[in-house]
Structure 1
Amino acid sequence: MLQNALIFLLHTLFGLFTLAVLLRFYLQLTNAPFRHPASQAIVSLTNFAVRPLRRFVPSWRGLDLSTLLLAFVAQLLLQLCLLWLRDFPLLVAGSGAWIALLGLCVLSLTKLSIYIFLYAVFVQAILSWLSPHNPMATLLDALTRPVLQPLRKHLPLAGGIDISPLVVFIIAELLLITLVTPLEQQLRVLL
């Protein structure tokens, strides 16, 4: 019972930290408004870890690699802690187990990234119907524009309704069902 509580706590803490760091990465990548209160909150929550790491990991072509590395390390620590709780022999594990572990970390970041955009599109769609002038609208629009804009160019409005969020939901779920989840299951078998 204590082990389950510890697993829950680890998933929550590392998951929230990874979410915050990935949000910071995607907000920077999409040029979301930096002065927005939500952007400022994400920056202030993650600065304690990102700023020191930036001394050693520079940006590359506009990509803040330090935040990506931090998200990856957070997922790696989570997976290592979970394996340690299961009494997995990490010190004698073969290279296949370590490759599977690194692959799980990459898949966790991929899955979380898909969920970030999926929920951002969902919240943006709801806000556009209920409160189109909400202060979050500008931030969500900047975050989802790279995903929705290509679809909006090719999809006509259906009776004045933008169906591109629906297409994003379908594509995201298909990616999760056909690629991410099966790969994750195969890698977990190796551990």
Structure 2
Amino acid sequence: MTNAGVFVVQTVFGLYLMLVIIRFMLQLAKADFYNPLAQAVVKLTQPLIGPLQKVMPKTGRFSLATLVLGFLVQLLLIVMVLLIAGFGLPNPVSLAIWSLIGLGSQVLDLLFFAILGSIVLSWLAPQTNHPGAYLLQQLTEPVMAPARRMLPNLGGLDFSPILVFIIINLLNMLVIQSLAQSFGMPRGLVMGL
């Protein structure tokens, strides 16, 4: 029962956290919010982000409320998993640090799979006008463009995704996993760690 409860909590909260992270990434990328998928993300996240936006100012390209909501959802997910699994709660500082580590891990995972999805779509339907393909391209372009500038032009071959995958994996191994281990974060507390 414990494993099933942890699975359900991680799945439900993980999916909502993914939507919040996508909204944050859409804001950073200045994506087209008239895209039907972007509108769906906004509609699903607005009930919780709306009240936070009234209190927290918008800074630059993104709303601080979105980032805070992502942190709070991750924090709540960790607390619920610990309680369901029968562990006691650690001190609030450890919870906050674990939440930041989990949030960073989720951002890297989402970016990895968004790039992977855009690669697959470029092979299967290179000239598609589907809103999902366009949204993936908008989400990944802020990371892919600098990688393309770093690599020489090889005609029709684009090796920038490989460079970005290497960087994502290095960040995951050298930063996220090292921080998780340094701060005593239990394995499996957050999906992907």
Say yes or no: TM over 0.5: yes
2:174 partner letter:
T
What CA distance in whole angstroms lies between the structure 1 residues aligned with 2:60 and 2:168? Answer: 27
What CA distance in whole angstroms lies between the structure 2 residues aligned with 1:176 and 1:170? Answer: 10
What CA distance in whole angstroms lies between the structure 1 residues aligned with 2:94 and 2:42? Answer: 31
Unmatched 5+ residue regions in structure 1? none
Partner of residue 170 from structure 1, selected from 145, 166, 172: 166
The CA deviation string for residues 100-125 of structure 1, in whole angstroms up to 9 with x for no partner, is: 21111001111111112111111111
Q: Counterpart of 1:161 in 2: which secondary structure?
A: coil
2:107 partner letter:
S
Counterpart for residue 181 of structure 1: 177
Q: Give aligned-pair identity as a percent.
A: 37
Task: Report deviation, 1:83.
Answer: 2.2
Task: Report deviation, 1:89.
Answer: 3.9
Indicate whether 1:145 and 2:145 are aligned: no
Whether the 8 Å contact between 2:101 and 2:176 is mirrored in structure 1 is: yes
2:127 partner letter:
H
| TM-score, normalised by the number of residues in structure 1 | 0.89
Task: Report deviation, 1:81.
Answer: 1.5
Q: Counterpart of 1:188 in 2: which secondary structure?
A: coil
**Residues 20, 177 of structure 1: alpha-carbon distance in 2 compared, 3 angstrom cutoff:** same
Counterpart for residue 155 of structure 1: 151
Task: Report deviation, 1:8.
Answer: 0.7
Counterpart for residue 50 of structure 1: 49
Question: Which entry has the higher C-alpha Rg, 1 or 2?
Answer: 1
What CA distance in whole angstroms lies between the structure 2 residues aligned with 1:122 and 1:9? Answer: 26
Unmatched 5+ residue regions in structure 2? none
Task: Report deviation, 1:133.
Answer: 2.2
Counterpart for residue 99 of structure 2: 105
The alignment's C-alpha RMSD in Å is 1.9
What CA distance in whole angstroms lies between the structure 2 residues aligned with 1:17 and 1:154? Answer: 34
Q: Counterpart of 1:157 in 2: which secondary structure?
A: coil
Whether the 8 Å contact between 1:50 and 1:67 is mirrored in structure 2 is: yes
